[in-house]
Amino acid sequence: MKNSVNREIPDDLMKKYDYEGFKTTEIGNPEIQRVAPKVHVSTGDNKVVDSIKDVVKETVKDGMTISFHHHFRNGDFVFNEVMREVIDLGIKDLTLAPSSLTGVMNDMVIEAIKAGTITNITSSGMRGSLGDFVSHGGLKKPVIFRSHGNRARAIEHGDIKIDVAFLGVPNADKLGNANGMEGDAVFGSLGYALMDAQYADKVVLLTDNIKSYPNTPASIKQTQVDYVVKVDKVGDPDKIGSGATRFTKDPKELKIASTVNDVIVNSPYFKDGFSFQTGSGGAALAVTRYLRQAMIDNKIKASFALGGITKPTTDLLKEGLIDRIMDVQDFDKGAAESMHTNPKQQEIDASWYADPDNKGAMVDQLDVVILSALEIDTKFNVNVMSGSDGVIRGAIGGHQDAATGKLTIISAPLVRGRIATIVPDVTTVVTPGDSVDVLVTEYGIAINPKRQDLVKALSSLPGVPVYHIEDLQKMAEAKVGKPKPLEFTDRTVALIEYRDGSLIDAIREVKD
Amino acid sequence: MKNSVNREIPDDLMKKYDYEGFKTTEIGNPEIQRVAPKVHVSTGDNKVVDSIKDVVKETVKDGMTISFHHHFRNGDFVFNEVMREVIDLGIKDLTLAPSSLTGVMNDMVIEAIKAGTITNITSSGMRGSLGDFVSHGGLKKPVIFRSHGNRARAIEHGDIKIDVAFLGVPNADKLGNANGMEGDAVFGSLGYALMDAQYADKVVLLTDNIKSYPNTPASIKQTQVDYVVKVDKVGDPDKIGSGATRFTKDPKELKIASTVNDVIVNSPYFKDGFSFQTGSGGAALAVTRYLRQAMIDNKIKASFALGGITKPTTDLLKEGLIDRIMDVQDFDKGAAESMHTNPKQQEIDASWYADPDNKGAMVDQLDVVILSALEIDTKFNVNVMSGSDGVIRGAIGGHQDAATGKLTIISAPLVRGRIATIVPDVTTVVTPGDSVDVLVTEYGIAINPKRQDLVKALSSLPGVPVYHIEDLQKMAEAKVGKPKPLEFTDRTVALIEYRDGSLIDAIREVKD
């Protein structure tokens, strides 16, 4: 069948996995029966063990679902150490359900797939060699990609039932009270991992830093933890930070950032008490800098900033330009340290951040959100998952979730090298055009025709030409030409869920 | 049948309510399937309503279970305002499942019972006119009394399934982010109410203080809340504090407190890193004062203090004599204010505090705990529920829970007026003698013979005579005489659960 963004979803898979096709970005008011974990009661006074192997042997059985968080990003030591034991113990047919997969995990995942240890994967994304491997049919069953909010939803519904969660933390006490804020390998908010801690039947913490009991603030609580494994090092502090921590000097990126700022400032949402999510990367940091100046100039303060947090954002909090930071993830050490010292930076879990099946997530209250794109098409559909070669090389992250904001801006260059960013049809629909309002490029902006209010508000900004998105697409095509259509086999290697759990697209095996 | 503390439990009720008789204080390592609430999804941006009546009409139906917390104690306005509407709407056959009932609620509960609005009650306790009413057969079905930890267990098991929780808070934002620390009617920790917020199908906050969004720190989260009702006043600040806030000057109480301190200091548990729970009331405050001096004199610091927290305890935290306070409830304004400003005072929910069916509650880690008693018998069984006249006039609170401490001290005068505290058999067994170690009276102490280690450690303290508890019982009897045996009818008016959910005793209707 074809879903409402005109994507062909294989009927056999729809049936097999009991899916509905994506229909609408509206969530409505369903009544949801939540699920709950099994608890193995323990009243002892020490959960610390030395051997990962012993814990794996004790907890992981064939066919189970195991999970990890990705807050250490490429500084993660936990995933590889645990999976080494899992593979060596000959455990088979596991479902791997981490909050996401980072590059440092790729080789181990591929080894585990080849060994038959991992036969199912659900993740926010994958990149590099693993994306390549999966795109070329390396995993028999399709990977299921879910946004951070959708993973929370799926866990709370029971669509993902985690048997054992292995969670690395920079500190924990003997019973498992832990946070992400102290120790060598700090990363700040434990936002994604809090779901696993609450819903997994068995929770195993790994840490290199056993603190005296009781360890507070306790983001993860002793009531949730079965084992605390003492390891030499949980992570490499130098590789935990994600991406750029300095403002870009690239004139194209600066132009886009300044235009994004123009769009925000001239929108009806830029007023005292507004809220925003900017994200990471040099361009996002530049937006934050422009926005800071605009807030000072216009005497406007924000009620909250959301999403992956960086130091420039926590500086705004310190400066009093933002009243609260709602923090599901920190992208640099500065942001992590700020969470430790500033009580106005509130740690939130992925459900509070973005679960659509909730009594209200933070993303529902977002005014302004700036998101990136690998591709955006003339229907404003956005792809952040597959490259123009059809190979998986991205992550949904909070993209679908934050796109619910009142003003959703996609910031993207017209072309990247010889590849158009604006295309007639994205290779993979991740975020439906219905939830996208403005596209900002270095040449100008395009406004979703559904938003005539924004067309009116933004159509006469000096230095900000407004195009029809089709014209921007043609400009891009004029620059880099029309690419040869991609060739895929009939086999589906990945399914893309929308945040409500319906299917928004499928990724097929790349034909070499 | 008779249970292991020799109490006759009516077989028909055991069967009807599917109970086992109390066997042992050991919890073991059962595997428990937790339950979860139904969530009515909402993505709107305002949950504030003006009318309690409208919310009650919308949410409460015949036969449901509704709940309240008792953190406002006798300053509570919420209970009466909500129940007024519930009764007036003619709703029938409700189960009332508050964390406890305070005196200010009594008249309304009695009215609701008489109206057929409330037909079942589970609570930590009841006092005054309501205790009298129930003891004289005013409620058809037996009240079920549960400790704070057992209530958490029962909620997490599904034994108590809360349909609608009405929770008063001194502040909340438009979506329900709330805490107990700011506003006119502050009470500090929301510990007991956090269970209701997490497990009730519908959560209604009532507040007189709508804060700007997002309101943090959020002890209760917007993801848990369905309605925020704006009321004139949620409570009377002057009546929220519980009991004495000044050290006693009563020489008998001072003697007991000083002896309690002698017992602690000379026990094997008084060493660096020990933990304790003292409780409230003038005598408990006196114990804290003696203990403070002993800690300074012996250069000993505590790892944590637990339980209902008072200002003298938060002063120890400030002084550095305690490293952490784990805070399920605050008994005075000073303690509530300290939680707001001192990050080492961690708010904990009732499950973390004391649920026995857990991956470890705080009470499991307690070294020293001082508890009170209405009666204690020669088997060290303690009654904190019924008076010597058989009438209900107490609350289990955390009594059974904290009694799991390594050194459980019952502090009680030998007699109160013409009534013996130490008796051959308590009127009602609440806490089994197995979990009690030392009784401290103004005449001397008695040590549970099971604790020969303590007999050895405490037998030659100057000024602390050690008695067999039978001798203390005889001393009490010599003072006040042998009371006439109580007369009860065959009808059971209340069941006392042990913290594991088994039945430890039943209370019968008083014969007039």
Per-residue pLDDT tens over the stretch A167-210:
999 999 999 999 999 999 999 999 999 999 999 999 999 999 99
- What's at A240, amino acid-wise? I
Find out whether the peptide bond into B251 is cis, omega within 30 degrees of 0: no
Which residue's entry shows tokens 């994604």? A192
pLDDT in the model for residue B43:
87
List CB contacts (< 8 A) between A326 and chain B. Answer: 214, 216
**Is B67 in CB contact (< 8 Å) with chain A?**
no
Q: Which amino acid is at B115?
A: A
How do residues A451-468 score in pLDDT, each as one tens digit? 999 999 999 999 999 999
Per-residue confidence (pLDDT) for residue A83, from 0 to 100: 98
What secondary structure letter does DSSP report for A185?
T
Report angle CA A131, A68, A109 to the nearest 5 degrees: 35
Tens of pLDDT, residue by residue over A255-272, are: 999 999 999 999 999 999
Closest CA to A335 of A307, A321, A314, A308: A314
Predicted pLDDT at B279: 76
User: Which residue, among A223, A348, A353, would best test binding to B if mutated, counting the most B CBs under 10 Å from its CB?
Assistant: A223
Backbone torsions φ then ψ of A352, nearest 5 degrees: -65, -35
| Closest CA relative to residue B507, chosen from B39, B123, B92, B224 | B123
Each residue of A127-169: pLDDT tens digit? Answer: 999 999 999 999 999 999 999 999 999 999 999 999 999 999 9
Instruction: Please name the residues in contact with B428: beta carbons below 8 A apart, sequence gap of 6 or more.
Output: B383, B385, B386, B496, B505, B507
pLDDT of A245 strictly over 70:
no
* CB-CB under 8 Å, B41 with A358: yes
Q: Does A363 touch chain B (CB under 8 A)?
A: no
Residue A223 and residue B175: Cβ atoms within 8 Å? Answer: no
Residue of B59, B189, B216, B224 to mutate for A, most A C-beta atoms under 10 A: B216
Q: Which of B212, B221, B360 sits opposite A352 (nearest CB)?
A: B221
ipTM of the complex: 0.96
Each residue's pLDDT expressed in tens, for chain B with a length of 512 residues: 899 999 999 999 999 999 999 999 999 999 999 999 999 999 888 999 999 999 999 999 999 999 999 999 999 999 999 999 999 999 999 999 999 999 999 999 999 999 999 999 999 999 999 999 999 999 999 999 999 999 999 999 999 999 999 999 999 999 999 999 999 999 999 999 999 999 999 999 999 999 999 999 999 999 999 999 999 999 999 998 865 566 788 999 999 999 999 999 999 999 999 999 997 777 788 999 999 999 999 999 999 999 889 999 999 999 999 999 999 999 998 999 999 999 999 999 999 999 999 999 999 999 999 999 999 999 999 999 999 999 999 999 999 999 999 999 999 999 999 999 999 999 999 999 999 999 999 999 999 999 999 999 999 999 999 999 999 999 999 999 999 999 999 999 999 999 999 999 999 999 97
Query: What is the distance between the alpha carbons of residues A43 and B359, in angstroms, rounded to a whole number?
Result: 7
CB contact under 8 A, B216 and A344: yes
Q: Show Cβ contacts of residue B368 under 8 Å, excluding neighbours closer than 6 positions.
A: B264, B267, B269, B270, B274, B275, B276, B277, B405, B406, B407, B409
Q: Does domain B45-240 have CATH number 3.40.1080.10?
A: yes
A130, A170, A245, A306, B322 from A346: Cα distances, Å: 34, 19, 22, 10, 26
In the prediction, which pLDDT does A227 show? 98
SS3 label, residue B89 = coil
Interface of A with B in 216-235 (CB under 8 A): 216-218, 221-226
- What's the pLDDT tens digit per position in A395-420? 999 999 999 999 999 999 999 999 99
Alpha carbon of A41: minimum distance to chain B alpha carbons (Å): 5
Residues of chain A with C-beta less than 8 angstroms from the C-beta of B42: 29, 358-360
For the segment A352-404, what is each residue's pLDDT rounded down to a tens digit? 999 999 999 999 999 999 999 999 999 999 999 999 999 999 999 999 999 99
Is B42's Cβ below 8 Å from some Cβ in A? yes
Return the axis-axis angle of helices B311-319 and B282-297, rounded to nearest 10°: 20
pLDDT of residue B229: 98
User: CB–CB of A457/A268 below 8 Å?
Assistant: yes
Q: Write the residue in B224, B326, B343 that is nearest to A214 by C-beta.
A: B326
User: What percentage of chain A has pLDDT greater than the value 70?
Assistant: 99
Taking a C-beta distance cutoff of 8 angstroms, is the pair B204, B230 a contact? no
Chain A contact present for B341, CB below 8 A: no
Cβ within 8 Å, pair B41-A35: no
Residue in A358, A32, A149, A193 with CA at minimum distance from that of residue B224: A358
Residue B383, beta-bridge partner list: B375
B325 φ, ψ (degrees, to nearest 5): -115, 130
Which of B40, B41, B322 best tests the A interface by mutation, with the highest count of A CBs <10 A? Answer: B41
**pTM for the structure as a whole:** 0.97
Q: How many CB atoms lie within 10 A of CB B414?
A: 22
Structure tokens at A510: 């790349």
Predicted local confidence at residue A247, as pLDDT: 74
Residue of B nearest to A29 (CA): B41
The answer to whether residue A244 scores a pLDDT higher than 60 is: no
Closest chain B residue to A30, measured at CA: B41
Answer for the pair A359, B176: CB distance below 8 angstroms, yes or no: yes
Asked if A482 and A468 count as a contact pair (C-beta separation under 8 A), the reply is no
Q: Where in chain B is the domain with CATH 3.40.1080.10?
A: 45-240, 251-481
Q: Is B465 on the interface with A (CB under 8 A)?
A: no
Q: Mutating which of A41, A150, A317 best tests the B interface, going by the most B Cβ atoms within 10 A?
A: A41
B223 contact residues in A (CB cutoff 8 A): 351-352, 355, 358-361
Kindly report the nearest CA distance between residue B340 and chain A, in angstroms: 10
CB contact under 8 A, B42 and A29: yes
Assigned CATH for B251-481: 3.40.1080.10
Q: Is the peptide bond before A214 cis (omega within 30 degrees of 0)?
A: yes
Residue B61: predicted pLDDT: 98
Chain B nearest-CA distance from A296, in A, is: 21
Pairing of β B322-330 and β A488-497 = unpaired
Degrees (nearest 5) of the Cα angle B42, B48, B51? Answer: 120
At A239, list the tokens: 């590789």
The answer on pLDDT for A246 being more than 80 is no
Q: Across the interface, which of B41, B212, B358 has its CB nearest the CB of A41?
A: B358
The first and second tokens of residue A110, run together, are 């591929």
What average pLDDT does the structure give for chain A? 96
195-214 in chain B: CB under 8 A from chain A: 203, 212-214
pLDDT confidence band for A512 (50 / 70 / 90): confident
Interior CA angle at B370 toward B369 and B374, to 5°? 135
The beta-carbon neighbor of A29 closest among B40, B346, B359 is B40
Cis preceding-peptide flag for B142 (omega within 30 of 0): no
A122 Cβ contact partners less than 8 Å away, ≥ 6 residues apart: A95, A96, A97, A143, A144, A145, A146, A151, A154, A160
* Interface contacts A/B by beta carbons within 8 Å: 175
- Cβ–Cβ under 8 Å, residues A208 and A80: no
User: Which residues on chain B are in Cβ contact (under 8 Å) with A224?
Assistant: 359
The chain A residue lying nearest B217, using CA atoms, is A346
Which one of A326, A346, A359 has the shortest CB-CB distance to B39?
A359
Write out the two tokens for A466.
Answer: 């407004």
Q: Tell me the Ramachandran region of residue A66: left when phi exceeds 0, alpha when psi lies from -120 to 50, beta otherwise.
A: beta
